[in-house]
Structure 1
Amino acid sequence: MSKAPAPHPRFAEALRELGLREVEIRAFPDGTRTAAQAAEAVGCELSQIVKSLVFEADGEPVLVLMDGASRVDVALVRAELGAASVGRASAETVRGATGYAIGGVPPFGHVTRMRVLADRGLLAHDTVWAAAGTPHTVFALAPEELIAHAQGTLADVREQAAGVL
């Protein structure tokens, strides 16, 4: 772990704007591009990792916040949004909508405002960990607070047979 963890500058600014000055940030030199890597580095359960996944719903980017031990059920996302089609966004779309590369997308602090769905399963923990704008940094927050700052809507969008996405 590095001595002075530094989130992405855009994300650091989002934390300041939200008044989140006491947020624990950890940095890892080897990176934490996957939920499993993040959980191992932090020393928490895989389900305490928040994956910030961008989908396209009828051509519009949508962020889905999912615990690291579960997969998103695209049909449930489509039903929740009332969309005709939903699919994973390309790396280019992710960067364009969020300002961050895949593997470092935080749950808030994006360059564009998009709809956010937060799977209800995130509420099972007192603390969750999410990317802080880079594949090398994560931050901790209570799930209710994280979802509120992301302006997320609670939804049940997890596949019933949990795996890793």
Structure 2
Amino acid sequence: MEKLVHFLQENQARYEIISHEKPIASAQDGADLFGIELGQTAPTLIVKGDGGYAALIISGDYGRVDFAEVAQKAGLGKLKLAKPQEVMEATGFSIGSVPLIGHGLSVILDSKLFRYEWIFGGTGVPEATLKISPSEVERLNRVITRL
């Protein structure tokens, strides 16, 4: 997480790291813990396509992901959710802890996140959450498309 904080500071991002005692198991758990709307939670899912891996950052209230639709919009060919071992290999982080920023992958970003001033997502550490604006997430990542 030290690398993430350094990167955020170096890029003059407005953010907050929030520590908590145990990992957050679901978007609803995160919304309940922070007293926010479900849509403000921003899980980072790792997807695998014909061209490799990408990070899909979606709003917690996105619903069921249509991978064929996402693949077509992002130009990634056939797309599926990466397996836990693949997530670790592609990012160096485990499922549920992949950071919003600093994973090194191209990003597909859910436009619904821009409804909020602040969103809450991973830091790379299970017991910490990043509070940041969606525009900063877009600015600090290599976004290839928005949903």
Q: 1:10 to 1:101 in 2, by over 3 A?
A: farther
Give the length in aligned residue pairs: 146
1:89 and 2:82 equivalent? Answer: yes
Residue identity matched to 1:32: I
Q: How far is 1:87 from its partner? A: 0.4
The aligned residue for residue 14 of structure 1 is: 7
3-state SS of paired residue (2:42): strand
Within 2, Cα distance between the matches of 1:92 and 1:118?
Answer: 23
Unmatched segments (≥5 aa) in structure 2: none
Do the aligned residues in 2 keep the contact of 1:120 with 1:154 (CA within 8 Å)?
Answer: no
Distance 1:26-1:33 versus aligned 2 partners, 3 A rule:
same
Deviating above 6 A after TM superposition, structure 1's stretches of 4 or more consecutive aligned residues are none
Instruction: Report the identity percentage.
Output: 25
- 1-structure distance, mates of 2:38, 2:135: 18
In the aligned structure 1, how far is the partner of 2:125 from the partner of 2:95? 9
Quote the Cα distance in structure 2 between the aligned partners of 1:82 and 1:151: 15
Contact 2:51–2:77 (CA under 8 A) maintained in structure 1 = no
Distance 1:153 1:126 in 2: 22
- Partner in structure 1 of residue 133 of structure 2: 142
Instruction: Give 2:55's match in structure 1, choosing from 55, 58, 63.
Output: 63
Q: Distance in 1 between matches of 2:18 and 2:130?
A: 6
Task: Kindly indicate whether the alpha-carbon contact (under 8 Å) linking 1:130 and 1:140 is maintained by their aligned counterparts in 2.
Answer: yes
Secondary structure at 2:77's aligned position in 1? coil
What amino acid sits opposite 1:52 in the alignment? T
Normalised by the length of structure 1, the TM-score is 0.80
| Inter-partner Cα distance in structure 2 for 1:48 and 1:91 | 24
